[in-house]
Amino acid sequence: MSRDLIIVESPAKVRTISKFLGKDYLVEASVGHIRDLPVKELGVDEENDFKPEYQTIKGKQKIVTQLKKAAARADQVYLAPDPDREGEAIAWHIAEVIRGENKNLNRIQFNEITSRAVKEALEHPRELDENLFNSQQARRILDRLVGYKISPILWKKVKRGLSAGRVQSVALRLVVDRERERQAFDPEEYWVFKSLLGGSGGDFEAELWKVDDKKPAIGSGEQAEALHSEIKDAEFRVAEIQEKERKRQPKPPFITSTLQQEASSRLRFSAKRTMSTAQRLYEGVELGDRGTTALITYMRTDSVRVAREAQESAREWIKDKMGPDYCPPKIRNFRGKKSAQDAHEAIRPVDPTITPEDIRSYLPGDQFKLYSLIWSRFIASQMAAAVFWDTVVTVKAGKTLWRAKGERITFPGFLAVYKTQDAEKATQLPKLQEQEELELKELSKEQKFTQPPPRFSEASLVRKLEELGIGRPSTYATIISTIADRNYVHIEQRQFAPTELGCAVNDLLVNHFPHLMDAGFTANLENDLDTVAYGKKDWGELLREFAAYLYPSLEKAKENMAEIKAGIETDIKCQECGRGMLIKFGRNGAFLACSGYPGCKYTSDFVRDEKGNIQAVERKEQELEKVGTCPKCGKDLVVKKARTGSRFIACTGYPDCKYTQSFSTGVKCPREGCPGELVERGSKKGKVFYGCSEYPDCTYALWDLPVKKECPECGSPILVRKNTKARGEHLACPEKGCNYRDEEEEE
């Protein structure tokens, strides 16, 4: 007996869907895309209207064979990849591959993986959306043209391994431009005055609000001292008390971008970590007696729309668990942005009655934290407003006016479920009377300086990309990962700072591809892709328009782009020979090298000050730490870093003394009978690993840091420290077949 076939993207969905469809359907997974443009060539016929040349992705042939066999045995084939452009493209390519085995092909999609949603989708199949596929295809070809045409120019002019991207390069420009704003910023001095005042109801703090009925403009210590002397003996009296009730409404449930921003600020999750965790919650998690259960709706969306039954379910939970006062009279509906595609619901729990605490024991740390965030935001979105009693006290002292603000929560409303940081900082003022004389208990003044615009955090960069209409929420995680992976930016205190390489690449691209690096141009291109998806623009026409700009710029860049492979000139002089120093780009970042190389081999690290000026770092400052005495010459031994990223120990007497030794982890090699210990090494690609000091006699090696601790399950003499997306940092056994991990360490 033949069965209908459903093809989804991931094996996790296979388990979830098979559970409630039973034996009537066969469910198979494509494991993402099965076809794409070739890796080592452009794969686009530029002479034939940009016709793409698709091929089976390496390693996917077995999956393609299995899908063909399953399709040949099925009555109907339902293509059910994710409900977005990328999912439509996956479905389209699967259809192209299996059409010879079965022509009864239908497209289905569902926003949540539940029995009701999947069965409803099966009752309402549709044709493949050619316009949506063409939009994805045009995006893929645009990205391929930019990447494969511009990147080789950067290889030739700067260094190999670099890349340019239609969206990533604009994101890089935002980071670089912000850094230069900071460097050009001139701080201005100002002074802040505060007073601690005592009244009939108690003490409170007030801040200087006005001087001579104008905003304070105290720009020097002399002005501050003069004002301080003038008001320290003045009479402080309550001039006015304003009180009013204020309501704060809850925010809408999450969309992709707001989820990434909130997970970044509250949970310190990267966009990539957020999306991979959300993917697992969407596809299904094993919940004991409940079996494999999908917990959230589809996580790639820009719509705040919510299904009626989900709203009603949330309201019932609120009435039952929180009380009727916490449930507003009417269902809350939210208005999204005009540009929202509104193809899917907002991100919400599939079943609002499943609270995070109900399933805490089944979820790894990341999944529990993210589900808690999504669940509480959604439940809060259907709750009553929070009510505050605001108080503003104005105090007069001589020619100055002072203000103190307080707020008191009279009804928490949605804040009972979804607390905000500002609500937690609410302060309450003592009871006061107008015209009441106050005691000045303390008068303070503090010098401050205006601050430059902050660097982008991951959350603020996502917010800026969304605001400018650059990329799409589903692509933000990839964009941010790419500019970091290419070493164009690095992270300092959870903020993005451009590297020397990032600045150099940005400047070259801005000079030679100004349209491509323009946020407005990129946003308009996104709008054009949407127009293709709606069937209002031909995808070939879009590509021809883009090529008309790109190709002339490419030719000019090949000819005129400055070559900085040999280094970028600076004003710094070599300490050994006096020649000019050059900025060069090595495997581990930028450094200064003498322009007299190979005659002079002097190199140095460098930093930039707040204004962006280069300051060389003396060699002795580059040494990480002293660790002993050289056994050959008696000079100090220091820890240094190899070009491959691993540490080693070297004599400070170099080049006269060339003594070195490996950097030991202090963990003995676990191979029986081996006298060696595990030391840091670096791979050719710059990745640190840990190998036996007796190499090549002993080839034992690990990618993870070894720890001298015995595995209680298999007896391995060592464990390794891992940091995974699912569990965070924890200890685990490195032996194959042993699944031990240190739960206590993980906590």
Integer Cα distance of 523 and 464 in angstroms: 12
Question: What is the domain-level CATH number for residue 319?
Answer: 1.10.290.10
Integer Cα distance of 120 and 225 in angstroms: 75
- Residues pairing with 725 in the sheet: none
Say what the pLDDT of residue 338 is: 64
On whether both 196 and 160 belong to a single domain, the answer is no
Question: What is the domain-level CATH number for residue 122?
Answer: 3.40.50.140
Angle between helices 271-283 and 476-485 (to 10 degrees): 140
On whether both 201 and 260 belong to a single domain, the answer is no
pLDDT above 90: residue 643? no
Residue 78 among the catalytic residues: no
Mean pLDDT of the region 291-295: 88
**Amino acid sitting at position 613:** N
Structure tokens at 734: 């490195």
Integer Cα distance of 462 and 481 in angstroms: 12
Integer Cα distance of 747 and 727 in angstroms: 9
Integer Cα distance of 272 and 264 in angstroms: 10
Let me know: does 374 contact 366? Beta carbons within 8 Å.
no
Integer Cα distance of 50 and 44 in angstroms: 5
Q: Which is more confidently placed, 646 or 678?
A: 678
Q: If DSSP codes are grouped into helix, strand and coil, which group holds residue 673?
A: coil
Kindly report, residue by residue over 294-351, the tens digit of the pLDDT. 999 999 888 899 999 999 999 999 999 999 999 999 999 998 776 555 567 899 999 9
Residue 137 lies in a domain: no
pLDDT above 50: residue 525? yes
DSSP state of 22: G
What distance lies between CA 284 and its chain's CA centroid? Answer: 23
Say what the pLDDT of residue 424 is: 62
Mean pLDDT of the region 139-155: 93
Say what the pLDDT of residue 747 is: 26
Integer Cα distance of 299 and 274 in angstroms: 10
Show Cβ contacts of residue 457 under 8 Å, excluding neighbours closer than 6 positions: 264, 265, 494, 495, 496
* Nearest alpha carbon to residue 30 among 53, 3, 8: 8
Kindly report, residue by residue over 188-197, the tens digit of the pLDDT. 999 999 999 9
Say what the pLDDT of residue 728 is: 64
On whether both 470 and 586 belong to a single domain, the answer is no
Residue 102 lies in a domain: yes
Give the residue numbers spanning the domain of 392: 189-249+386-449
- Residues pairing with 293 in the sheet: 285
On whether both 592 and 538 belong to a single domain, the answer is no
CB atoms < 10 A from the CB of 453, how many? Answer: 10
Say what the pLDDT of residue 675 is: 86
CB atoms < 10 A from the CB of 104, how many? Answer: 12
- Residues pairing with 107 in the sheet: 79, 126
Integer Cα distance of 450 and 740 in angstroms: 53
Integer Cα distance of 395 and 526 in angstroms: 53
Structure tokens at 327: 């449930």
On whether both 466 and 535 belong to a single domain, the answer is yes
Kindly report, residue by residue over 611-632, the tens digit of the pLDDT. 888 888 765 444 457 778 888 8
Structure tokens at 333: 């509906």
Residue 268 lies in a domain: yes
Say what the pLDDT of residue 746 is: 29
Residue 136 lies in a domain: no
Q: If DSSP codes are grouped into helix, strand and coil, which group holds residue 256?
A: helix
Structure tokens at 406: 């307080």
Between 88-97, 485-494, 682-691, the lowest mean confidence (pLDDT) is in 682-691
On whether both 124 and 28 belong to a single domain, the answer is yes
* Nearest alpha carbon to residue 528 among 466, 461, 469, 476: 469
Say what the pLDDT of residue 311 is: 94
What distance lies between CA 475 and its chain's CA centroid? Answer: 10
* Res. 685 pLDDT band, cuts 50 70 90: low
Threshold 0.75, pTM exceeds: yes
Last residue of a domain, one of 358, 381, 404: 381
Integer Cα distance of 588 and 688 in angstroms: 12
**Amino acid sitting at position 591:** F
Integer Cα distance of 729 and 720 in angstroms: 10
Kindly report, residue by residue over 654-676, the tens digit of the pLDDT. 777 888 888 888 899 988 888 88
Between 29-43, 479-493, 494-508, 523-537, the lowest mean confidence (pLDDT) is in 479-493
Residue 139 lies in a domain: no
Q: Which is more confidently placed, 265 or 739?
A: 265
Average pLDDT of the chain, as a whole number = 89
Kindly report, residue by residue over 470-510, the tens digit of the pLDDT. 888 778 888 888 898 888 998 877 889 999 999 999 999 99
Question: What is the domain-level CATH number for residue 510?
Answer: 1.10.460.10
DSSP state of 321: H
On whether both 463 and 428 belong to a single domain, the answer is no
Kindly report, residue by residue over 687-719, the tens digit of the pLDDT. 889 999 888 888 889 998 998 888 877 778 899
What distance lies between CA 626 and its chain's CA centroid? Answer: 37
Show Cβ contacts of residue 19 under 8 Å, excluding neighbours closer than 6 positions: 291, 292
Let me know: does 296 contact 371? Beta carbons within 8 Å.
yes
Mean pLDDT of the region 442-468: 93
Concatenated DSSP letters for 693-714?
TTTTT---EESSEEES---TTT
Between 3-12, 323-332, 351-360, the lowest mean confidence (pLDDT) is in 3-12
On whether both 469 and 498 belong to a single domain, the answer is yes
Residue 63 lies in a domain: yes
Helices within 382-475 (DSSP H only): 421-424, 458-468
Structure tokens at 19: 């559970």
* Nearest alpha carbon to residue 383 among 411, 404, 361, 345: 411
- Residues pairing with 590 in the sheet: 585
Integer Cα distance of 353 and 289 in angstroms: 16
Integer Cα distance of 280 and 367 in angstroms: 8
What are phi and psi for residue 712, nearest 5 degrees? -75, -10
Integer Cα distance of 396 and 239 in angstroms: 6
Angle between helices 519-533 and 458-468 (to 10 degrees): 70
Integer Cα distance of 146 and 141 in angstroms: 9
Residue 43 lies in a domain: yes
Say what the pLDDT of residue 415 is: 95
Residue 134 lies in a domain: no
Q: How many domains does the chain have?
A: 6
DSSP state of 580: E
Structure tokens at 414: 């949605």
pLDDT above 60: residue 539? yes
On whether both 692 and 597 belong to a single domain, the answer is no
On whether both 478 and 545 belong to a single domain, the answer is yes
Could you tell me whether strands 4-8 and 25-29 are parallel, antiparallel, or unpaired per DSSP bridges?
A: parallel
Phi-psi region of 150 (alpha: psi -120 to 50; beta: other; left: phi over 0): alpha
On whether both 426 and 530 belong to a single domain, the answer is no
Mean pLDDT of the region 591-597: 91
Last residue of a domain, one of 399, 416, 449: 449
- Per annotation, catalytic residue among 54, 282, 298, 371: 298
On whether both 334 and 217 belong to a single domain, the answer is no
Using a 10 angstrom Cβ sphere, with 0-12 exposed, 13-18 middle and 19 or more buried, the burial of residue 4 is middle
Using a 10 angstrom Cβ sphere, with 0-12 exposed, 13-18 middle and 19 or more buried, the burial of residue 695 is middle
